[in-house]
């Protein structure tokens, strides 16, 4: 696979392509043109061809893209074949919802454990996963060489717990707290889900329409 | 305020600026240079000056930006002074977490009601809000001219419920389901929180580092 500089915007679009290709595949579609894919995604065909060309050639002029083949190449680019291990820190409502509803295996991830500081939640079983006490978190992460920690705790302790996780050796933090996490010089990847940023973008577009 | 084409990337950065300015303001900082703001946000000073220039002039050469003034102008651009009304559709774990933890008033929104189809959840009170039966949703939205609906239900019914909401007259949908919502020709704004897109971006960056 050709390695070249890939813009943030392209990377952000890849999961959307993947979702659409899964949909098409489930509907029995075998091939799709950049024109039709563009129409379904609200993108121009040339944007789509340009995005895919960053990674080398996926399609054949005039024949369209092979849905399953394209899906598998995008999945590989996204690291879905890396079998990353995940632990969840904080089993409150958001954490529990992720355990129950988020299909980790579908995207190639293994959710190994969930840790919680509130004693009344420790030992509770959700979707087959028993919530563990946070006191064993560090030892567990080290023993299992955990790749990714999901941070779904209160904002106040976010940086402190992130520092602990980095110390334990995680390589990435998926941050659901409203805090900005500073990974310092560690090189740990931080990916944020800031709910407020999304709502404010919505608010902007709504205000633009009614300006 | 100057109206000009504002790129998606700039709009996506504005909430981040807002968050940082709130932090600075809370810490008692009154003025900040684009250099220092850039350092704290991992952006170049010229990027910051460029972003702000889309909306007209916020700063004064050599004096830096007035933190409170800049914050209030960004808030206005983001429509935070519009007093948008919000209802929540689906009071499962994610929905409950939003009711309990998301600070709607802080961003200028009023959460008026939460609707749920599961009878065992109807009538439950969360953070002072009583969950209503979904049967009165349409009448409520019409009566209160609700601006925004949060969609936090199962993926299977997402499009159907979105169609109902559009029919009831909401102007925007904040979509927490993993489904792609099609607003058709309605002009309704759709803003998605796709958890999987975020995790896959993280996975990409992690894989890049360990390529």
Q: What average pLDDT does range B37-55 have in this prediction? A: 88
For chain A, the average pLDDT equals 91
Instruction: Give the pLDDT band (50/70/90) at residue B58.
Output: low
User: Which residues are registered as beta bridge partners of A116?
Assistant: A133
Across the interface, whether the CB atoms of B84 and A206 are under 8 A apart is answered yes
Q: What average pLDDT does range B52-72 have in this prediction? A: 78
Across the interface, whether the CB atoms of B14 and A204 are under 8 A apart is answered yes
**Closest Cα in chain A to B195:** A193
CA distance A117 to A6: 40
Identify the CA nearest to B116 among candidates B102, B129, B133, B136.
Answer: B133
CA distance A109 to A148: 9
Percentage of chain B lying above the pLDDT 90 cut = 76
Q: Are B195 and A88 in contact (CB under 8 A)?
A: no
Q: Is B119 on the interface with A (CB under 8 A)?
A: no
Q: Are A85 and A146 in contact (CB under 8 A)?
A: yes
Q: Is B183 on the interface with A (CB under 8 A)?
A: no
Instruction: Give the pLDDT band (50/70/90) at residue A63.
Output: confident
Across the interface, whether the CB atoms of A180 and B109 are under 8 A apart is answered no
A139-193 pLDDT, tens per residue? Answer: 999 999 999 999 999 989 999 999 999 999 999 999 999 888 999 999 999 999 9
Q: What average pLDDT does range A65-81 have in this prediction? A: 92
Instruction: Give the pLDDT band (50/70/90) at residue B183.
Output: very high
Q: Is B146 on the interface with A (CB under 8 A)?
A: no
pLDDT of residue B8: 83
Is residue B102 predicted with pLDDT exceeding 50?
A: yes
Is residue A209 predicted with pLDDT exceeding 90?
A: no
Mutation to test the B interface, candidates A124, A151, A153, A204, most B Cβ within 10 Å: A204
Across the interface, whether the CB atoms of B206 and A82 are under 8 A apart is answered yes
> Which of A79-93, A149-163, B54-68, B134-148 has the lowest average pLDDT?
B54-68
Q: What average pLDDT does range B41-49 have in this prediction? A: 90
pLDDT of residue A2: 45
- A64 to chain B, closest Cα gap in Å: 23
Residue from the list A15, A82, A98 with its beta carbon closest to the beta carbon of B197: A15
Q: Return the structure tokens found at B154.
A: 């199962």
Q: Return the structure tokens found at A134.
A: 């946070």
Instruction: Give the pLDDT band (50/70/90) at residue B42.
Output: confident
pLDDT of residue B2: 45
Q: Are A168 and A142 in contact (CB under 8 A)?
A: yes
Q: Is A77 on the interface with B (CB under 8 A)?
A: yes
Across the interface, whether the CB atoms of A172 and B94 are under 8 A apart is answered no
Q: Is A45 on the interface with B (CB under 8 A)?
A: no
Instruction: Give the pLDDT band (50/70/90) at residue B196.
Output: very high
Q: What average pLDDT does range B56-80 have in this prediction? A: 83
Is residue A1 predicted with pLDDT exceeding 50?
A: no
- A89 to chain B, closest Cα gap in Å: 15
pLDDT of residue B1: 45
Dihedral sign, CA of A125, A130, A136, A141? negative
Taking one residue from A and the other from B, the number of pairs with CB-CB distance under 8 angstroms is 174
Q: What average pLDDT does range B42-46 have in this prediction? A: 91
In sequence order, which residues have a C-beta less than 8 Å from that of residue A86 and are 6 or more positions away? A104, A109, A110, A111, A112, A146, A147, A148, A149, A150, A174
B/e letters for B34-48, b = 16+ CB within 10 Å, e = fewer, are bebbbeebebeeeeb
Is residue B3 predicted with pLDDT exceeding 80?
A: no
A105-117 pLDDT, tens per residue? Answer: 999 999 999 999 9
pLDDT of residue A57: 62
Q: Please state the pTM of the whole predicted model.
A: 0.87
Across the interface, whether the CB atoms of B15 and A98 are under 8 A apart is answered no
Is residue B144 predicted with pLDDT exceeding 90?
A: yes
For chain B, the average pLDDT equals 91
pLDDT of residue B60: 62
Question: What is the ipTM for the molecules in this complex?
Answer: 0.92
Instruction: Give the pLDDT band (50/70/90) at residue A59.
Output: low
Across the interface, whether the CB atoms of B193 and A191 are under 8 A apart is answered no
Is residue A62 predicted with pLDDT exceeding 90?
A: no
**Closest Cα in chain A to B150:** A199
pLDDT of residue A169: 98
């Amino acid at each position: 696979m050709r390695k070249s500089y890939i813009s943030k915007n392209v990377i952000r679009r890849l999961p959307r392509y993947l979702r659409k290709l899964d949909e098409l595949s489930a509907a029995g579609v075998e091939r799709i043109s950049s024109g039709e894919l563009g129409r379904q995604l609200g993108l121009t065909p040339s944007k789509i061809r340009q995005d895919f060309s960053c990674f080398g050639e996926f399609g054949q002029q005039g024949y369209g893209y092979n849905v399953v083949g394209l899906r598998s190449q995008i999945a590989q680019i996204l690291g879905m074949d890396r079998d990353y291990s995940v632990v969840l820190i904080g089993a409150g409502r958001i954490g529990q919802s992720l355990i129950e509803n988020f299909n980790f295996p579908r995207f190639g991830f293994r959710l190994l454990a969930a840790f919680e500081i509130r004693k009344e939640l420790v030992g509770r079983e959700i979707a087959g996963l028993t919530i563990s006490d946070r006191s064993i978190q560090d030892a567990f992460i080290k023993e299992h060489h955990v790749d990714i920690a999901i941070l779904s705790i209160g904002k106040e302790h976010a940086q402190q717990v992130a520092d602990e996780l980095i110390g334990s050796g995680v390589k990435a933090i998926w941050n659901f707290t409203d805090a900005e996490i500073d990974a310092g010089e560690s090189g740990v990847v931080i990916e944020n889900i800031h709910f407020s940023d999304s709502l404010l973008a919505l608010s902007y577009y709504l205000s633009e329409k009614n300006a």
